[in-house]
Structure 1
């Protein structure tokens, strides 16, 4: 346990600066986008009034009022970019240990004790990054909403639309604990599966490793598609029972991913 905590702390330190920079850049883009969208809407209204000598009511009928959904349109794209960066980091957190003159991975592999601490320290780091990113995004949405309400005059707001954020992003950042648990569980599984692919590639010779990675991806795709198709076609189970079966299969495969990753790290990856 002590070795795991030390390794996790080391991984977090190695990733902290670039993570903070990425979050600050994305946060700045999101908040600035809210201000820009609000100002552009006001400018369109003002230009319309000047060029058409129309009333404010006519301008709203033609151009429309603004909602936070309109002002926060970039939030969804930034969230997607953040997810892609996390996936890239999931690969980079392993491969950076093999890159460079120091070959940091050899120092890790020669440490006394169970190599499982190496795997779980990296998994913990990525998982904490995912959790913190989701939390920061949720806070930015709340702050962005307050900024929007402060910038926009009441008569410019579309009060008929009470949504504070788009449907997709709203589901993602709702306070529903069930949704949050599902998102984190799926994210943890994806990260673990990518860890497995990296360890497979690193455990065998170049072409053999890539072939085995392809086979592993093919197996999970076939198993997933066939399981979903079978459950959709069968009339023997209720919808709730189908959900339990899918959850059980998910847990079993997740356990397999962890078991095989630890086995490869212990027996196949050599110094």
Structure 2
């Protein structure tokens, strides 16, 4: 456990700069979005009311009050979320391949550490998960701040206030990264852990067998996806809704755990017996 925690600390220190940059971009871009979207609505209101002499009540009837969803649905807000997702996706590959880069290949040092090589896999997986949850937690922290700024800029009569829960559930992008129930959390983040474990295995297959490993990694990924969605296809196309939703959910969880276990076992085998540097 001590060696594992040391590896986790080491891996996270390697990604902390990227993590900080993503946090900074998210905060600056979303706060700018709050300002510019609020300012755009207020400029429209001023133009209609004071230049075109439209009564305030008529303006509100025609254009409606501004709510925070208008900010959330803007590129200013969703763009950084997409960028963070892309950053995590990029780092899933980078966390392995940079160990092979450079004259003094760092993978030598990792593989020679006096600990089980599976700890290397666990540490990298934990780093990806920590990075992802950290970005989500940061989004939850700054959302109330952004809502307060929005309220400070837009007068009460022109603003439709919404709770944080209403904002999250009304926005597909936020409702995915911020699940509203334990079931959704297990579904979304369990699927993420499954995908990362399969990708890690595919990467190690490529590192172990080079060009043949690329083909093997693609085949393994396709098999993993096929096994995972097979019950859903059978439920709709063959069994005609035979299973209750809760039964199907449990089956999917079991299959996901099996695929993760197989991925971890195969990754461990490759790290111990087949990996080349």
Which of 218, 221, 233 aligns to 2:225? It is 221
CA RMSD of aligned residues (A): 1.9
Residue 200 (structure 2) pairs with residue 195 (structure 1)? yes
Q: Is the partner of 1:204 in helix, strand or coil?
A: helix
TM-score, normalised with respect to structure 1: 0.91
What corresponds to 2:51 in structure 1? Answer: 51
Which runs of structure 2 are paired with 1:119-268 in the superposition (5 Å)? 119-158=121-160, 163-165=166-168, 166-168=170-172, 169-170=174-175, 172-174=177-179, 176-205=181-210, 207-232=211-236, 233-234=238-239, 235-268=241-274
Length, aligned pairs only: 269
Q: Identify unmatched segments of 5+ residues in structure 1.
A: none
Give secondary structure in 1 for the equivalent of 2:66.
coil
Counterpart mapping for 1:9-158 below 5 A: 9-74=9-74, 75-158=77-160
SS in 2 for 1:113: coil
CA deviations 1:174-216 (Å, max 9, x no partner) are 55343334333222222211111110110103x2111112211
* Structure 2 CA distance for aligned equivalents of residues 236 and 72 of structure 1: 40
- After superposition, the Cα gap between the structure-2 partners of 1:218 and 1:181, relative to the gap in structure 1 and judged at 3 Å, is closer
> Counterpart of 2:6?
6
CA apart distance, 1:21: 1.6
Structure 2: gaps of 5 or more residues? none
Q: Which moved more, 1:194-203 or 1:216-225?
A: 216-225
CA distance in 2, matches of 1:111, 1:171: 38
Describe the SS at the equivalent of 2:198: helix
Task: Please give the secondary structure, in 1, of the residue aligned with 2:246.
Answer: helix
